[in-house]
Amino acid sequence: PQPADISLLTHTSRYCCCRASPLVCPNQGLIKQLDKIKEARNLEGEERSMLSYARAISVSPFPHVITHSNLKREISKLPYLGEKLLSMVEEFIKTGQINETQGILTSSRFQALSAFTTIHGIGPHTARKLYNLGLRTLEDLERYYEVEPGRCGQETLAVIEAAGRESDEAIVERSIKVALALRHDFSQTIPRAEVEEMNRVVMSELEQIEQGCKSIVVGGYRRGKPQSNDVDIVISHRNWESGAGKIKGLCKRFVRRLHERGLVTHVMHLSGFHEHNALRTHHWDSLEKALTVFVLPGDGSQRRVYRRLDLIFAAPQVFWTAVVGWTGSTMFQRDLRLYAKQQKGFKFDSSGISRRHDSKLFFPKTEREVFELLGLVYVHPTLRNA
Ligand code: ATP
Ligand code: MN
Ligand code: MN
C-alpha cells in the first residue's frame, strides 16, 4: 500500500470506500461476535437489521483496540454505532462476549440455516423453505435433492448451449445439485499458490483460442486473503480498439473449450447473454460470466480437488470497473455505488461508470482512474476488506 494514500483515508467516513479496511484488525474478536448476529439477521431475511450490523462491523477496524477508556471518546465519533450497538460493544469489553451471539450459536435453527447457505445456490429464502419442510442437515438435503456425495453427472455441453434460455428455477436447482454433490471439495479452501496456478492454466488455454487476452485474479485473493473459497478471474483484451469485439461471445466459446480439455467439469450458470441492459438500468452487471467447476490437470498420482471458478469477461473499456467491482468486498462495492450516486451523481457498477444526468459513459484506463473519476482517494485492494 502507498503510505501517501493511506494517510488521506479517514476512519470516520460514512462510506467504507473512504476508509482503510485491512484483512485483520485489532478488534477481530468483537467483529467475529457481531458477524454472527449479522448472519442470523441475514438468514431470517431481516435485511435492514443485517445491514446495520454489517455497517457496524465495517467501522470497527478502528485503528486501535476498543477499550473502556476510548469507548465514549473515540467510538461514539464513528458512524453507524448507535445506542444498541454501543451497548453490545460495552458488553464485549466487559465480558469478552455478547449475550445475543451466545444465544444464536446454540440455536439449532441457526445451525441448520447457516449450514444450508454454505451450498452455492441456497440463499436465506431457500434455506428457510427447506427448513420448513423439516430438513435439518446437509445429509437431509442430499436425500431431498437426490444427490450422491462426490458424484455429479452433468450434460455440460447442453448446459452451455442452453445459456440464456433457461428459467431461474432451473439454474438454481442445477447449482444446488452440483454444489451439494461436491460440497466436501468446495469446503476445502484454496491456497494462493493454487489460485495462481489456476490462472496460469486458464490463460494458457485462452491464448490458444484468442490471442492477446489479459486477466487479473480478483475477489478475496486480490484483497490478500491467504485462502479463498473460489477463484474469480476478470478477462479482457490488450487491444483497446479491437478488444471489445474479441471479448463478445468469448465466454461460451472458451468454456466449451475448457470443458473439451477436461478442465471445466460442470457449469453452474452462464449469464450476460439475454439481459437487455444497454441502458444500464439494472443493479447487477451485464458482463458475460461463467460460474463453473474447475479441476487442475494432474499426473494421475493423486485426485485433484474440484474448485469453484468464476470467469468474468469485460471489454477493455470496462476492464477496470469490472476489476474494482469484482475485487469487492461486497460492502466496499456497495458503498462505492452509494458514494458515486449520492456524492457524484454517477452510476457505478462492475460493467461501467456513467453520469446520471446525461448518461455519458466513462472508460478508465487504470484502476486509479476509476477512483479519480469518482473523486475518491485510491484504496489499495488489501485495504478493501470492509
Ligand atoms: P471468497 O470467494 O474467498 O469467499 P470473495 O470476496 O472473493 O471471497 P465472491 O463471492 O467470490 O467472494 O465475490 C467476489 C466479489 O465479486 C464480491 O465482493 C462482489 O462484489 C462481486 N460479485 C459477486 N457476484 C457478483 C455478481 N453476480 N455480479 C456482480 N458482482 C458480483
Ligand atoms: Mn471469490
Ligand atoms: Mn466468486
Please give the domain boundaries of the chain with CATH numbers for all domains. Answer: 3-106 (1.10.150.110), 115-184 (no CATH), 185-324 (3.30.460.10)
Q: Is 272 in the pocket of ligand 1 (CB under 6 A)?
A: no
The string of pLDDT tens digits covering residues 233-260 is 999 999 999 999 999 999 999 999 999 9
Question: What's residue 3's pLDDT?
Answer: 58
Rounded mean pLDDT of the chain? 93
282: confidence class by pLDDT, cuts 50, 70, 90: very low
Pull the grid cell for residue 286. 451485464
Q: Is 302 in the pocket of ligand 1 (CB under 6 A)?
A: no
- Candidate from 171, 311, 330, 336 with most ligand 1 atoms within 8 A of CB, to mutate: 330
Return the residue whose CA atom lies nearest to atom 22 of ligand 1.
326
The string of pLDDT tens digits covering residues 4-18 is 677 778 788 999 999
- Candidate from 230, 269, 280, 326 with most ligand 1 atoms within 8 A of CB, to mutate: 326
Question: What's residue 302's pLDDT?
Answer: 86
Q: Is 385 in the pocket of ligand 1 (CB under 6 A)?
A: no
Report the candidate in 133, 154, 165 with the shortest Cα–Cα distance to residue 259. Answer: 154
- Distance from Cα 227 to the centre of ligand 3, integer Å: 13
- Distance from Cα 292 to the centre of ligand 3, integer Å: 10
Return the residue whose CA atom lies nearest to atom 1 of ligand 1.
229
Q: Work out the average pLDDT over 353-371.
A: 96
Distance CA 321, CA 325 (A): 6
- 68 has pLDDT over 60: yes
- 278 has pLDDT over 60: no
The percent of residues above 90 in pLDDT, for the chain, comes to 83
Q: What ligand 1 atom has the least distance to the C-alpha of 310?
A: 11
279: confidence class by pLDDT, cuts 50, 70, 90: very low
Q: What ligand 1 atom has the least distance to the C-alpha of 230?
A: 2
The strand pairing partners of 349, in sequence order, are 352
The percent of residues above 70 in pLDDT, for the chain, comes to 96
Report the candidate in 118, 146, 113, 115 with the shortest Cα–Cα distance to residue 129. Answer: 113
Four-point Cα dihedral 366, 202, 210, 232, nearest 10: -40
